[in-house]
Chain A
Amino acid sequence: MASESSSGGSAGYIEHHLTNLTAGEGFWTFHVDSLFYSVLLGVLFAGSFYFAARRATAGVPGRWQSFVEMMVDFVNTQVKDAYHGPSKLLAPLALTIFCWVFLMNFMDLVPVDLLPRIGELMGIKYMKVVPSTDLNITFGLSIAVFLLIIVFSIRAKGLGGFGREIFFKPFGKWLLPFNVTLKVVEELAKPMSLALRLFGNLYAGELIFILIALFTLGNTLTSLVTSAAAFSFLVQFVLGLAWALFHILVITLQAFIFMMLTIVYLSMASEEH
């Protein structure tokens, strides 16, 4: 059920849902809600996995340890398949990305009005609960990956090798500007596509949840006794259920894609072209 927001109407409701809770001015603005949920879910991931890792035993594992081991093993397999260099960083990085992005995406399955409504009751005016529908969050991840790509490249080929790759490949030194342009575009495409893919999928998903919630916008519990309202409630329930079920696939897939592409980009960076 949707609650009517302060500005009223469908447009106001949607706009309210897409507005971040902010703190600060200009560039130094922080999206407090995105960061809060992002950190919360990050801590949830790290804490729960640490709980299993701290008492990890080679004997018979408990349920939680089994699950953690399953995840670790799954990520480890993916990394080993794609990456052959020596790195203690890449596998934990991939695990973090997968779990964290999945959890952030999972917030999309929490009923769209639940947490913002609770926040409203507590006096918080705006709240976006899905961090991965915030471009800052997705770009934060992908730019970190982009920096790692550069670090891995330099580590694998040396500064000279990396420079040669930028300036003299693929067309030799006589087409140097062309080479540089090509390389810059090629490299910048990686973080752009990573961030925009995740953002686009989740943003669209959330928007559809909001649109589905519009069906019962303005209704109260008591008004549900009228047949028209009951019908729209039913429609919202069916559509919401269908989209949520489908979305389970989307959020998992997006988390997996983000992880896989990170692994692939970083393994490409550590190999000679």
Chain B
Amino acid sequence: MNINATLLAQVLVFAALVWFTMKFIWPQVIEAIEKRNKEIADGLEAAARGRSELDAAQDRIEKLVGEARGQASEIIDQANGRAARIVEEAREEGERERQRLVDSAHAEIKRETSRARDDLREQVAALAIAGAEKILRREIDGRAHGEMLKSFAGRI
């Protein structure tokens, strides 16, 4: 095993290899690694930010839903109240209408009754006169006693 010029050649090859590695391999690979590391870090950060934003959005949604639910029940209450009022008004209206109808029917009945009475009275008077005429045909002056009978019939 002897030392010779192989050693010098090896030193030169070594130097060339190290130079090549330093120039064309190391920086590129390190750059790629660091860039990826940065991208991964950014990605993780973005993910964390997205998560917190999602949480905030969820909170907001919950609040909005709660408000909407409150408003809805308020509206339903109002509607129920209004419906009750409308029903009440309708009932009152119906009641009034009924009363009116009953009243007018009563008035009608009364009118009819009085007319019928008047008719009846006149007919009774006429009958009475006719009866009296038949009975007292000769002795009684139809006209003179007619006046008396008519006033008599007015009292029926």
Contacts and interface: CB of A to CB of B under 8 A. Distances in A.
Q: Report if A and B associate in a common complex.
A: yes
Contacts of B35: 58
Interface in A170-211: none
Given A29-B5, A30-B9, A35-B13, A58 B36 contact: yes
B4 A56 contact: no
B6 interface: yes
A54 B28 contact: yes
B8 interface: yes
Contact of B3 (A68, A95, A135, A141): A135
A28 B8 CA distance: 10
Interface stretch (B15-23, B57-65, B148-156): B15-23
A72 B20 contact: no
B64 to A, nearest CB: 40
B13 A56 contact: no
Interface residues of A, number: 47
Contact of B22 (A38, A52, A72, A92): A92
A96 B5 contact: no
Interface of B is mostly: helix
Contact of B10 (A29, A68, A88, A137): A137
Interface string A54-88: 10111101000100110011001000000000001
Contact of B4 (A28, A57, A65): A28
A58 B32 contact: yes
19 contacts: A35-B6, A46-B17, A53-B29, A54-B24, A56-B31, A56-B32, A58-B32, A58-B36, A58-B39, A76-B30, A92-B22, A95-B25, A96-B21, A100-B14, A136-B6, A137-B7, A139-B10, A141-B14, A144-B15
Interface of B: 1-11, 13-15, 17-18, 20-22, 24-26, 28-33, 35-36, 39
Given A52-B29, A68-B25, 4 more contacts: A45-B17, A56-B29, A57-B32, A58-B32
